[in-house]
Amino acid sequence: MPAVSKGDGMRGLAVFISDIRNCKSKEAEIKRINKELANIRSKFKGDKALDGYSKKKYVCKLLFIFLLGHDIDFGHMEAVNLLSSNKYTEKQIGYLFISVLVNSNSELIRLINNAIKNDLSSRNPTFMCLALHCIANVGSREMAEAFASEIPRILVAGDTMDSVKQSAALCLLRLYKTSPDLVLMGEWTSRVVHLLNDQHMGVVTAAISLITCLSQKNPDEFKTCVSLAVSRLSRIVSSASTDLQDYTYYFVPAPWLSCKLLRLLQCYPPPEDGAVKGRLVECLETILNKAQEPPKSKKVQHSNAKNAILFEAISLIIHYDSEPNLLVRACNQLGQFLQHRETNLRYLALESMCTLASSEFSHEAVKTHIETVINALKTERDVSVRQRAADLLYAMCDRSNAKQIVAEMLSYLETADYSIREEMVLKVAILAEKYAVDYSWYVDTILNLIRIAGDYVSEEVWYRVIQIVINRDDVQGYAAKTVFEALQAPACHENMVKVGGYILGEFGNLIAGDPRSSPLVQFNLLHSKFHLCSVPTRALLLSAYIKFINLFPETKATIQEVLRCDSQIRNSDVELQQRAVEYLKLSSIASTDVLATVLEEMPPFPERESSILAKLKKKKGPGAVSVTELEDSKREGGELNGGGDRGPDTSAMSASNAVSRHSVTSNLSYVFQSTPSPSADLLGIRSSAPAGTAPASAGNLLVDVFSEAGPAAPSAAVNDDGFLRFVCKNNGVLFENQLLQIGIKSEYRQNLGRMYLFYGNKTSVQFASFTTSVSCPGELQSHILSLNVQTKQVEPLVEGGAQIQQVLNIECLTDFSDAPLLNIKFRYGGALQNLTLKLPVTINKFFQPTEMSSHDFFQRWKQLSQPQQEAQKIFKANHSMDTEVLKAKLLGLGTALLDNVDPNPENYVCAGVIQTKGQQVGCLLRLEPNAQAQMYRLTLRCSKDSVSRRLCELLAEQF
């Protein structure tokens, strides 16, 4: 125990802590704690009123016990009592307890708020700070409701002490983060911005965090902060290291404030005012120059503080992406850091270079460091640094260095840490595909991937290689030869067997001329792997075998024999057994012509966005993945709309399509994996079954035959046919069958909506026990209720030919993706009818259109430039591309359709704000049609990423 205890010692507490530390076992500790809890409880309950000191001591003990990880369910009231003590340390302990053990009891909250209110109005700065700290630490909605309007006043009042201002600024920031709707700056805005000019550096340091957060959300209202921030920064940067007294940290003037100023500027585009911009560029240059000066101290704190500013300055330079000179200087500076002896600097340099690689001005400069980065990948001892190196290699990859980078990544993969293998595999697969000039290299790369890291090769990767081989005749022979060779290995990965089975089944004939890979040799090779494989792979191999019978009639007898043996035809796995039985039958009764038709080579897959990319995006956050993608999507976009300098071969490879990842996988797996009835899909009707249906119910011949005799089970599957038709309109018929028609009329204002449902009985017979219910599935139902749907029950009887009406009141609390479900049950002639429909309540219904100028639009567009804020899809037109039709749809969406904004008059841009109860989400949309190709590119940028994604999904189905 320390000899000196500063401040107010609490002897009892120290003894207790000592006791706990002396406990030899967990049990002893728990016993001691229980004893203490019993003691405290009895003191609190005792008749004798406790004095302030004892109360403080016991509350502090409870706090200690809680912080040890035990539950505390009493003492709150005593802590609240301490708040109104006029002894500072008692008050302080009370506040600490309240901040750590936040309680939701409303009576307590009222008492706490009262105490805070008293302290805030006490004019005693120490008490005021304590109260503000407590609000900032708790930050609950109740506190925001009670104090959000009071604190801005304290913050800007002329007579407020500096230390109180500092606490008030950050307190407000915390409240704004939890309840932005309650913190209204309004009239205070300009005075808050002017805190940047405050004489007290501490006030500026605290205020700037608040201003940055507010600027991100309301850039226009706060834009005057830009010039103030630039002049403040300029004063700091040009000051001597001693000017700022205690705000100088290891010879670096005000490093925290400098970083925050640079960070604030990243909320805005480059200043338009020439003088301001000139001053800022000067600052940035000075910061870059200082990096070259000899250090003023050998302490790591000096270099860290200095480099923190440097990295923040580089972030700003990258954000502006408009000063080639600065970008190249930044890149050179980072290049020096790549070989620095400080691991931290190497890590940050690799990370920062990743973003530089995406700028057209610095991409080439980044590429010059390739050898250093490869070396880092090989020699860094820390996996997180190696990971950054791999990310950077991925980001700097282009046509010129793809082969080298892919080769290095492959060889790294052999020893890579397990934690990053899957991601590495995806990256290699993407680069190989994106930059493949000759496809034999691509096939080699993917097969190598499977060989080296088969366990980490996800389905998307091997599906993709098959898609590409099927679509490109020039590589099919090579692929067949290569997989054949790869399968020779005594132990090869199951994924290799899958690819091998599929490719030989399709293209084995291309290498059958060579006696070393004659049909029978191929078959025996495949079959030698069969018994070691899992059920899905075996199912795939069986399909390959039936394809062999068609390709090579001479193998028919051998294969039939295999199919006929008990382990196949009586396999305990239903899927395998069924395949064996059906294939055997098919091969014996069908004529060669029929066989040839049924087992024809797979038709080319429609070109589509690489499913692997989607997977990588999902797996990784922004930093690592996005850069080249972004850059590339820029280029690809140009191509889609005319320009573009890519060779035809790559555009065919990477031209994206509207088909989502889900259907990519289901499409392929449909044929070879999960199909319950192989003969059906081999006959080419696979498109008729919806993707993703559960295998058991999707047209399984056997099951169907039997189930027909059973009673017609009431269907409860969700019907969402009508759903998508209502994205851009509010009224119409949602559902209709022989019995029932359901019409919809709906109107929305702000975050509220009202939907009228009309149920029409189309028969002449009464519907009995007619009930409806609305439920919110999945995320809607989770603890954050996104959508609040209220409805009154309808009359239980609907006469023949009659129509009844129901009203739903809808409130959008926060953004959401799932739709509410409407379940309808009624009796029609004794049979229970059960129907579930997706209600067309989509996030776009809560749009408020926003008109803006071209300049404003692109400025905001640029502000929403974080990769996750953007969602993009390129897809084929499903409907007429007529201008008027498109305009009507976009207006129906709820946004404002902006004219004269996009330089290309063919394109459409829209802007709107989604109103939810909790927040507003700004959304910008750009739709670029390409009439020639009958394609669209749709881009959404929203202040909330989930909204971008959801809108993109919804809209891609509309055009």
Partner 1 sequence: MQFMLLFSRQGKLRLQKWYVPLSDKEKKKITRELVQTVLARKPKMCSFLEWRDLKIVYKRYASLYFCCAIEDQDNELITLEIIHRYVELLDKYFGSVCELDIIFNFEKAYFILDEFLLGGEAQETSKKNVLKAIEQADLLQEVRHLIKITPN
**Binding annotation:** 11-12, 43, 53, 57-61
Binding residue (CB under 8 A) for partner 1 from 301, 687, 715, 731: 301
Q: What part of residues 922-941 is at the interface with partner 1 (CB under 8 A)?
A: none
Q: What part of residues 335-354 is at the interface with partner 1 (CB under 8 A)?
A: 343-344, 346-348
Tell me the torsion sign for CA atoms 366, 367, 368, 370.
Answer: positive
Binding residue (CB under 8 A) for partner 1 from 122, 304, 577, 791: 304
Element (H, E) at 412: helix 402-413
In the bound state with partner 1, the residue whose beta carbon lies nearer, of 30 and 701, is 30
CB of 173 to partner 1, least distance (A): 5
Three-class DSSP category at 826: strand
The full DSSP string for 535-591 is: HHHHHHHHHHHHHHHHH-GGGHHHHHHHHHSHHHHT-SSHHHHHHHHHHHHHHHHS-
The full DSSP string for 235-257 is: HHHTS-TTTTGGGEETTEE-HHH
Binding residue (CB under 8 A) for partner 1 from 65, 109, 112, 129: 129
Binding residue (CB under 8 A) for partner 1 from 103, 179, 189, 205: 205
Binding residue (CB under 8 A) for partner 1 from 48, 381, 516, 531: 381
Q: What part of residues 817-876 is at the interface with partner 1 (CB under 8 A)?
A: none
Q: Please report whether residue 376 would count as binding partner 1 according to CB under 8 A.
A: no
Both tokens of 167, joined, read 């606490």
Both tokens of 653, joined, read 């490879």
CB of 461 to partner 1, least distance (A): 23
CB of 259 to partner 1, least distance (A): 5
Interface region with partner 1, contact rule CB under 8 A, candidates 2-10, 422-430, 437-445, 654-662? 2-10
Interface region with partner 1, contact rule CB under 8 A, candidates 257-265, 637-645, 786-794, 857-865? 257-265
Partners of 51 in the beta sheet? none
Q: Which single residue is written with the structure tokens 């039958």?
A: 585
CB of 382 to partner 1, least distance (A): 4
**With CB under 8 A, what is the number of residues at the site for partner 1?**
82
Q: What part of residues 15-54 is at the interface with partner 1 (CB under 8 A)?
A: 15, 17-18, 21-22, 53
Alpha helix (H) ranges present in 879-938? Answer: 883-893
Amino acid at 857: F
Interface region with partner 1, contact rule CB under 8 A, candidates 5-13, 408-416, 771-779, 945-953? 5-13
Q: Please report whether residue 394 would count as binding partner 1 according to CB under 8 A.
A: no
Binding residue (CB under 8 A) for partner 1 from 305, 327, 390, 428: 305
Q: Please report whether residue 742 would count as binding partner 1 according to CB under 8 A.
A: no
Question: In degrees rounded to 5, what are phi and psi of residue 757?
Answer: -110, 130
Binding residue (CB under 8 A) for partner 1 from 79, 136, 185, 886: 136
Q: Helix and strand tally (H, E) in the chain?
A: 43, 17
Which residues, at least 6 apart from 845, have a Cβ–Cβ distance to it below 8 Å? 730, 746, 748, 753, 812, 894
CB of 156 to partner 1, least distance (A): 17
Q: How far apart are CA 803 and CA 823, in angstroms?
A: 17
CB of 209 to partner 1, least distance (A): 4
Residues 431-470, one symbol each (x = binds partner 1 by CB under 8 A, - = not), give ----------------------------------------
CB 61 within 8 A of CB 12: yes
Residues 262-291, one symbol each (x = binds partner 1 by CB under 8 A, - = not), give -x--x-------------------------
CB 82 within 8 A of CB 56: yes
Amino acid at 830: G
Q: How far apart are CA 61 and CA 371, in angstroms?
A: 59
Q: Using N-to-C axis directions, what is the helix angle for 300-320 and 343-356, rounded to 10°?
A: 0
CB of 205 to partner 1, least distance (A): 6
Q: Please report whether residue 251 would count as binding partner 1 according to CB under 8 A.
A: no
Binding residue (CB under 8 A) for partner 1 from 23, 50, 108, 308: 308
Binding residue (CB under 8 A) for partner 1 from 259, 349, 469, 658: 259
CB of 256 to partner 1, least distance (A): 5
Q: Please report whether residue 418 would count as binding partner 1 according to CB under 8 A.
A: no
Q: Please report whether residue 618 would count as binding partner 1 according to CB under 8 A.
A: no
Give the 3-state DSSP-derived string for 748-791, with helices as H, strands as E and coil as C: EECCEEEEEEEEEECCCCCEEEEEEEEECCHHHHCCCCCEEEEE
Element (H, E) at 941: strand 935-942
Which residues, at least 6 apart from 189, have a Cβ–Cβ distance to it below 8 Å? 221, 222
In the bound state with partner 1, the residue whose beta carbon lies nearer, of 864 and 874, is 864
In the bound state with partner 1, the residue whose beta carbon lies nearer, of 23 and 598, is 23
Which residues, at least 6 apart from 470, have a Cβ–Cβ distance to it below 8 Å? 476, 506, 602, 604, 605
Which residues, at least 6 apart from 508, have a Cβ–Cβ distance to it below 8 Å? 480, 484, 519, 522, 548, 551, 552
Q: How far apart are CA 252 and CA 239, in angstroms?
A: 10
In the bound state with partner 1, the residue whose beta carbon lies nearer, of 235 and 367, is 235
CB of 716 to partner 1, least distance (A): 35
CB of 13 to partner 1, least distance (A): 8
Interface region with partner 1, contact rule CB under 8 A, candidates 248-256, 547-555, 602-610, 704-712? 248-256
CB 760 within 8 A of CB 741: yes
Q: Please report whether residue 206 would count as binding partner 1 according to CB under 8 A.
A: yes
Q: What part of residues 537-596 is at the interface with partner 1 (CB under 8 A)?
A: none
Nearest CA-CA partner of 667 in 718, 604, 720, 594: 604
CB of 251 to partner 1, least distance (A): 13
In the bound state with partner 1, the residue whose beta carbon lies nearer, of 3 and 49, is 3
Question: In degrees rounded to 5, what are phi and psi of residue 107?
Answer: -65, -45
Q: What part of residues 660-719 is at the interface with partner 1 (CB under 8 A)?
A: none
Binding residue (CB under 8 A) for partner 1 from 58, 147, 222, 247: 247
Q: Which single residue is written with the structure tokens 């359901």?
A: 742
Q: Please report whether residue 237 would count as binding partner 1 according to CB under 8 A.
A: no
Binding residue (CB under 8 A) for partner 1 from 246, 293, 593, 882: 246
Q: What part of residues 140-199 is at the interface with partner 1 (CB under 8 A)?
A: 140, 163, 166-167, 170-171, 173-174, 177-178
Alpha helix (H) ranges present in 68-200? Answer: 76-83, 88-100, 106-120, 125-138, 141-147, 151-156, 162-178, 189-193
Q: How far apart are CA 609 and CA 220, in angstroms?
A: 37
CB of 52 to partner 1, least distance (A): 8
| Sheet architecture: strand order including 767-775 | 718-719, 831-838, 821-828, 767-775
Interface region with partner 1, contact rule CB under 8 A, candidates 133-141, 366-374, 484-492, 686-694? 133-141
CB of 266 to partner 1, least distance (A): 8
CB of 953 to partner 1, least distance (A): 22
Binding residue (CB under 8 A) for partner 1 from 113, 114, 202, 617: 202
In the bound state with partner 1, the residue whose beta carbon lies nearer, of 304 and 854, is 304
Q: Please report whether residue 249 would count as binding partner 1 according to CB under 8 A.
A: yes
CB of 318 to partner 1, least distance (A): 13
CB 95 within 8 A of CB 116: no
